[in-house]
Amino acid sequence: MSEVRVRAVTPADRSAVDALHDREWGGPYVIAHDVRYDLRELPTLVAVDAAGAVRGALAWHLDGRGLEVVSIVADKPGTGVGTTLLEAAAETARAHGAERLWLITTNDNLRALRFYQRRGLRIVAVDPGAVDRARLRKPIIPTVGEHGIPLHDELVLERRLDGAA
């Protein structure tokens, strides 16, 4: 893939970003750690190519402990867009004085676990049954995930930005 640059989302990007969220999450709503997020209301970084086309998006939320990546999605996996967005999120976190970048994925998402760990994030917690609780609020969440793995738990991953292990 050619180089992409990352910038804040603009109103002109909204339909492309919404299409990515529809494809990945079935709409603009995600539930993580028992919180329902509307991705349209969160600060979002977009990766755009030289022609200005949106190739990926990362929605984030700043809390007292760090910058949470609520959603990250690329139009095509394996093109470097996700890595570029994750690094931009780390820079955004540092700019806000955050000590860590963190996110949640599910127990079945082996591809994401490999991706995040290879980029310096570590598993720091497991919330058994969190996906079961989320499914009560968002029934379209499947009971069986990738690779035929029953989908039940959330895994919290983080990368320290302050040099702590």
Q: Where are the domains of the chain?
A: 5-160
User: Could you report the per-residue pLDDT of 18-40, keeping only the tens digit for each?
Assistant: 999 999 999 999 999 999 999 99
- Per-residue pLDDT reduced to its tens digit, 91-124: 999 999 999 999 999 999 999 999 999 999 999 9
**Rg of the Cα trace of the chain?**
15
Range 81-95 average pLDDT: 97
Report if pTM > 0.95.
no
Quote the pLDDT of residue 1.
Answer: 47
Kindly state the tokens that stand for 75. Answer: 């139009």
pLDDT digits (tens, 9 = 90+) for 141-154: 999 999 999 999 99
Per the prediction, the chain carries an average pLDDT of 95
DSSP for 37-85, please give it: EEGGGS-EEEEE-TT--EEEEEEEEEETTEEEEEEEEESSTTSSHHHHH
Whether 2 shows a pLDDT value over 90: the answer reads no
State the fold for domain 5-160.
Answer: Aminopeptidase (3.40.630)
SS3 17: helix
